[in-house]
Structure 1
Amino acid sequence: MKIRRFSGASTRDVLQQIRTALGTDAVILSNRDVDGGVEIVAAIDFDEKQWADAAPTPNWPEALRGANPKAPDLAPEPVASVAAGGAVPETTPLRNELQALRQLVEKRWGNSRASKSVREILTDMGFSADWATKVAEQAIDEAWEEPLRSMLEERVGLSDAPLGKGGVFAILGPTGSGKTTSIAKLAAAQVLRHGPHAVALLTTDTYRIAGVEQLGIYARILGVPLEVIRGPEDLLHALEKHSRRPWIFIDTIGMSPRDPRLGEQLHWLAALGPEAHRFLLIPAGSSGKSLPTVLAPYVDLPLAGAILSKIDETPAFGGALEWLAQHHLPIAYYSNGQKVPEDLHEARWEALLPILRSASEGDAVASATQNRYHGA
């Protein structure tokens, strides 16, 4: 049995600490006011028999009968508590008393996920009120996960085998979205599978300070060539030079959507035709209101799919999913950290939906599922 003491400014704050540290199966052992707030002692893996053998069973207090009329019908059992001076078990508290207290506190402060409506849950995930309403209309008995998944599968979808058997792959996206790191992850994965002779790196990021140097470090570590592209002639020459390498990755510069240099660079990539596979990198935390402006330069390009980056920084990426649904652009990969190449994964709803769910629950419920489903 694991017993811990938690304190905070309010009961609501402390209950959230307990959920995060011990989970929803934690048992509250004691609750008292202290200087500056509240102190609650809670336990996980509680051994009722151990303490029942050590103490007599007291009667149900009259005060709690008034708070919970059904309490006398329950079989009272002793439960361990922690004294103020240390971890010495007390014999007077009852499990039923404490459970009743927990229920009363949660009912008063309404801090459980069950108290939220479907619309509130979905807006916590970053979806607009319109999307939340559409899903809520299809939800039966507040069960929102199946209708949400159905809408996402129909309108967004996932890319199957995004890198296929090779080709030219360009990563596009706004500044700061993580394009260089994503390129390194993709390239490293192919080097591990096929060797350094199968991969070449190209970069057009000659404007950002240390942009070339950053990708150059990855190239040296992987043992692959890096070509710096300053114009369309350089691009065609580099592609011809490394034509025998199955996987060629192009890192592009991120600029303001109003910068004319961005349009010029996109024109080079568009001129490559269907031979090039263009993936749009979208930071997961981008606001649904800002995405149409930030991503406007890319919507007219033939895109192969999207990569959701920086999911570890925010699980509330409903706005990004909604934008992808509007443009019927499938998800190829998502990233959840800086490790190369471990933190880039082929997109699967079994992994993405639990991460979304954690945005409404405010805990780490997704971590175990991520570990289970991450494969590449």
Structure 2
Amino acid sequence: MKIKRFSGSSTRDVLQQIRMSLGPDAVILSNRDVNGEVEIVAAIDFDEQQCTEAHATPTWPGPLQAVAIPETSVPVVSSVAPTSPLRSELQALRQLVEKRWGHSLSGKPAKDSLTDMGFSVDWAAHLVQQCPEADWEKTLKSTLEDQIGLSSVSLEKGGIFVLLGPTGSGKTTSTAKLAAAQVLRHGPHSVALLTTDTYRIAGVEQLEIYARILGVPLEVIRSPEDLLQALNKHDQRPWIFIDTIGMSPRDPRLGEQLQWLAALGTEAHRFLMIPAGLSGKSLPTVLAPYAGIPLAGAILSKVDETPAFGGVLEWLAQQHLPVAYYSDGQKVPEDLHEAQWENLMRLLRTSSESTAPGSKAQNRSHHGA
């Protein structure tokens, strides 16, 4: 049996160390606080007889404890007698923990975890009222799946794809990511890029660089006539991606541009780019111009910069607008992902756990960082 001691700022951090070092079959032998840190002794190739001998002559302070690390990484401390049939009892304990406490690791009330994720106090309170405290994550996931869902529009068959959204939402980079993915699959002859971003300094130049790297044509659109001519010119290319200008919701040019794109009808699939950091009153104000437009789905951008994006999901639930993709970096095309609720829930948990007592982010805030 290989025994090793691990320490860190939180139980979750230490359990991650154990899983990476010893693997999922490791067991916890002891768990205690030492000078403000969590210290856990774990073992691999666990044997009941060895555990009994170790219990008779312990080589570390504190009572002997042995608990298999659950897949959900729920911190568990047990006083199971080493002479018991440990494997079956630990499995029963693990099932009990999962049923009783769900997957919440922070120890915070469900309502606090939800607000840390970015959801409003009212929305969080309403959700918690619908379920037992232990089942709030399961209820959150099912609620988001039901009220938002995932976009049914696929890029597999080609088409015209338009990226809309406020200034700074990442439309140009996301356009390049979507185009690059199709170039890698089908070659540069299959893709054309269009842009209406003629107002922003270096807006066209940025997409020109991507177009040159990908080996695809770029057309600059300044009028409805330009748009029609460009679409006719590249009608043999299955994938056409249109980058648009981001403007203030009060700018009359935004309404004019949206009318051009609305004229494309069902031939175009429009995706709304939403920065993950949008929240509160700014959400309905900034996104109001797009609320009346037929949209294929939303793309959540900059999730890596602001993981607490519950406010955006709350707005999408109100609009019943499905999620299509999310981006978590600048790499083209790697950092754009098809949305899956398992992954989005994992990202939401990160924002909640970063403010849990004992987390690194929480410790920094206590020191004025």
TM-score tier (shorter): 0.7 to 0.9
The question of 1:239 aligning with 2:207 is answered: no
Residue of structure 1 in register with 2:217 after alignment = 225
Residue of structure 2 in register with 1:198 after alignment = 190
Query: Could you give the per-residue CA deviations for residues 336-358 of structure 1, whole angstroms, max 9, x where no partner exists?
Result: 22222222222121222222222
Residue of structure 2 in register with 1:181 after alignment = 173
For 2:160, what is the secondary structure of its paired residue?
strand
For 1:144, what is the secondary structure of its paired residue?
helix
How far 1:2 sits from its partner (Å)?
Answer: 4.5
Residue of structure 2 in register with 1:321 after alignment = 313
Residue of structure 2 in register with 1:121 after alignment = 113
Amino acid in the other structure paired with 1:249: F
How far 1:48 sits from its partner (Å)?
Answer: 8.0
Q: What is the root-mean-square deviation in Å for CA atoms of aligned residues?
A: 3.2
Q: 1:26 to 1:223 in 2, by over 3 A?
A: farther
For residues 328 and 29 of structure 1, the distance between their equivalents in structure 2, rounded to whole angstroms, comes to: 46
How far 1:272 sits from its partner (Å)?
Answer: 2.0
* Correspondences of 1:203-218 after superposition (within 5 Å): 203-218=195-210
For residues 120 and 110 of structure 2, the distance between their equivalents in structure 1, rounded to whole angstroms, comes to: 12
- Higher RCO (Cα < 8 Å, 6 or more apart): 2
Residue of structure 2 in register with 1:94 after alignment = 62
For residues 14 and 297 of structure 1, the distance between their equivalents in structure 2, rounded to whole angstroms, comes to: 45
Q: 1:361 aligns with which of 336, 341, 353?
A: 353
Q: 1:186 to 1:222 in 2, by over 3 A?
A: same
**TM-score, scaled relative to structure 2:** 0.74
For residues 51 and 150 of structure 1, the distance between their equivalents in structure 2, rounded to whole angstroms, comes to: 45
Query: Could you give the per-residue CA deviations for residues 193-215 of structure 1, whole angstroms, max 9, x where no partner exists?
Result: 22211110001112222221211
Residue of structure 2 in register with 1:10 after alignment = none
How far 1:165 sits from its partner (Å)?
Answer: 1.6
Query: Could you give the per-residue CA deviations for residues 74-93 of structure 1, whole angstroms, max 9, x where no partner exists?
Result: xxxx2xxxxxxxxxxxx351
Q: 1:4 to 1:216 in 2, by over 3 A?
A: same
Unaligned runs of 5+ in 1: 7-12, 59-77, 79-90, 104-111, 364-376
Query: Could you give the per-residue CA deviations for residues 278-300 of structure 1, whole angstroms, max 9, x where no partner exists?
Result: 11011122114311011111112
For residues 2 and 283 of structure 1, the distance between their equivalents in structure 2, rounded to whole angstroms, comes to: 43
8 Å CA contact 1:171–1:281 kept in 2: the answer is yes
For residues 138 and 40 of structure 1, the distance between their equivalents in structure 2, rounded to whole angstroms, comes to: 35
Query: Could you give the per-residue CA deviations for residues 169-197 of structure 1, whole angstroms, max 9, x where no partner exists?
Result: 11011111111111111111111222211
How far 1:21 sits from its partner (Å)?
Answer: 5.1
For 1:224, what is the secondary structure of its paired residue?
coil
8 Å CA contact 1:27–1:46 kept in 2: the answer is no
* Correspondences of 1:1-376 after superposition (within 5 Å): 1-4=3-6, 18=14, 38=36, 42-45=40-43, 57=56, 78=58, 91=59, 93-96=61-64, 113=105, 115-362=107-354
For 2:222, what is the secondary structure of its paired residue?
coil
Query: Could you give the per-residue CA deviations for residues 101-124 of structure 1, whole angstroms, max 9, x where no partner exists?
Result: x98xxxxxxxx8463222122112
Query: Could you give the per-residue CA deviations for residues 344-376 of structure 1, whole angstroms, max 9, x where no partner exists?
Result: 22212122222222222239xxxxxxxxxxxxx
For residues 352 and 55 of structure 1, the distance between their equivalents in structure 2, rounded to whole angstroms, comes to: 43
8 Å CA contact 2:166–2:246 kept in 1: the answer is yes
Amino acid in the other structure paired with 2:62: L
Amino acid in the other structure paired with 2:266: P
For residues 116 and 167 of structure 1, the distance between their equivalents in structure 2, rounded to whole angstroms, comes to: 46
How far 1:307 sits from its partner (Å)?
Answer: 0.7
How far 1:54 sits from its partner (Å)?
Answer: 9.4
How far 1:254 sits from its partner (Å)?
Answer: 1.2
Q: 1:174 to 1:26 in 2, by over 3 A?
A: farther
Q: 1:325 to 1:29 in 2, by over 3 A?
A: closer
For residues 326 and 39 of structure 1, the distance between their equivalents in structure 2, rounded to whole angstroms, comes to: 43
Q: 1:210 to 1:31 in 2, by over 3 A?
A: same
For residues 122 and 39 of structure 1, the distance between their equivalents in structure 2, rounded to whole angstroms, comes to: 26
For residues 261 and 176 of structure 1, the distance between their equivalents in structure 2, rounded to whole angstroms, comes to: 17
How far 1:303 sits from its partner (Å)?
Answer: 1.2
Query: Could you give the per-residue CA deviations for residues 209-239 of structure 1, whole angstroms, max 9, x where no partner exists?
Result: 2221211111112111001112222111111
Q: 1:187 to 1:96 in 2, by over 3 A?
A: same
For residues 321 and 92 of structure 1, the distance between their equivalents in structure 2, rounded to whole angstroms, comes to: 48
Q: 1:141 to 1:263 in 2, by over 3 A?
A: closer
Seq. identity, %: 64
Aligned length: 312
Amino acid in the other structure paired with 2:252: P
Q: Greater CA radius of gyration, 1 or 2? A: 1
Unaligned runs of 5+ in 2: 20-25, 68-75, 78-103, 356-369
8 Å CA contact 2:326–2:336 kept in 1: the answer is yes
8 Å CA contact 2:190–2:238 kept in 1: the answer is yes
Q: 1:265 to 1:45 in 2, by over 3 A?
A: farther
Query: Could you give the per-residue CA deviations for residues 232-270 of structure 1, whole angstroms, max 9, x where no partner exists?
Result: 221111111111111110001112222222222222212
**TM-score, scaled relative to structure 1:** 0.72
For 2:134, what is the secondary structure of its paired residue?
coil
Q: 1:204 to 1:114 in 2, by over 3 A?
A: closer
For 1:143, what is the secondary structure of its paired residue?
helix
